Amino acid sequence: MIKVENLTKKYGDFTAVDNISFTVQEGTVCVIIGPSGCGKSTTLKTINRMLEPTAGDIFVDEENVLDIKPEILRRGIGYVIQYVGLFPHMTVGENIAVVPKLLDWEKSRIEMRVALLLEMVGLDPSAYRNKYPNELSGGEAQRIGVARALAADPPILLMDEPFGAVDPLNREVLQREFVRIQRELKKTVLFVTHDLDEAVRIADRIIIMRNGTIVQDDVPESILASPKNKFVHDFVGSDRALKRLSRFIVSQYMHKPISLEMGEGLLNEAGRLRERKHIRYIWIVDSGNRLIGWLDTVIIKKNTSLEDAITEVAAEMIEVREDSTLREVLAKMLGEGVKVVPVVDADRRVIGEVSLKDIEKLTEEVDASWKE
């Protein structure tokens, strides 16, 4: 747990952080967000004493960080920054092993930890362990930065705009990986970002700052549904119902798919489904349960051919995964002009479906009663 009490940081006459207090509960992700210069990164850096506070107290697991030598404190706190900061003369494996070596871990233990972390962040240890930072893409380097921060298994993780320098596509992948890893490890995380969509997606709690003070500290759902004042209302934007969809994962809302395997008798079976269950659209899959396309039962007639009945699709354009967000689902629907999308597993087998009706129910729940 991180507990900040009456924290102030001044630079001469300028007050960067002004008497703020907040708590990050154990095993949760707290995101600090706000306009440039609001004090969010300054606040983060006081936790591991990269910056010394002017006043106030900071407790990590009930111990005041001001009573701990900075170099000792930082060995027990993972730290990830926007531009990674990998040592260019060290291999990936050596970069990840920096803190474990300082802690005098045995060589075999370090090697096992490096391999485990590389796998955890989605990189093949045999392919990446001996690479140097200049051989990595931006997204790969950022994954290594996360792995290095987790190397000594610290209970606390500080992340200062860690994905800010990555392109939007890789940024989305990294966010998904972070959520997956956090679900497994349950670290206590203080995360700084300027991206509200990112904050909504990953946070258990969001702190919005302005001019060195905390304007609102609440769970994402409450901030989106009930902004505290006009500044927060304008900051979260008019599309807050859409942003809220990033909080919900496909696995929570998917239904059993209505699908048929491609082959002889398919049209007859589709016709029976239509008559018995009033089903219009049916997913068509191959023998491995992978998506081929869909069938509209309305157009089935006595002499209808398979080619006329089935609309083939490029599966990657329409399918989603169990860990996709409902915002991603809606983007697929709008992009492809459909009202239902298939859910696939790691082997791209159809395991479920999500409909527009599920999303509409959630968007209707956002409180529209806020008044200035």
Residue 118 has φ and ψ, to the nearest 5°, of -60, -45
Q: How many domains does the chain have?
A: 2
Residues 80 and 215 in one domain: yes
Asked if 25 and 188 count as a contact pair (C-beta separation under 8 A), the reply is yes
CATH of the domain at 282: 3.10.580.10
Residue 216 has φ and ψ, to the nearest 5°, of -150, 135
Q: How do residues 167-199 score in pLDDT, each as one tens digit?
A: 777 788 888 888 888 988 999 999 999 989 899
Residues 188 and 56 in one domain: yes
Nearest to 235 by CA among 10, 38, 24, 8: 38
User: Is residue 156 included in any domain, yes or no?
Assistant: yes
User: Is residue 372 included in any domain, yes or no?
Assistant: no
Domain span holding position 340: 251-361
Please check the confidence at residue 371 and state whether its pLDDT lies above 50: no
Residues 13 and 30 in one domain: yes
Q: How do residues 117-137 score in pLDDT, each as one tens digit?
A: 999 888 899 999 999 999 998
CATH of the domain at 74: 3.40.50.300
Q: How do residues 25-59 score in pLDDT, each as one tens digit?
A: 999 999 999 999 999 999 999 999 999 999 999 99
Residues 68 and 215 in one domain: yes
What's the whole-model pTM score?
0.76
Asked if 283 and 259 count as a contact pair (C-beta separation under 8 A), the reply is yes
Least confident of 204-218, 287-301, 358-372: 358-372
Least confident of 7-11, 208-212, 362-366: 362-366
Predicted pLDDT at 84 = 65
Nearest to 281 by CA among 194, 353, 334: 353
User: Is residue 301 included in any domain, yes or no?
Assistant: yes
Predicted pLDDT at 303 = 57
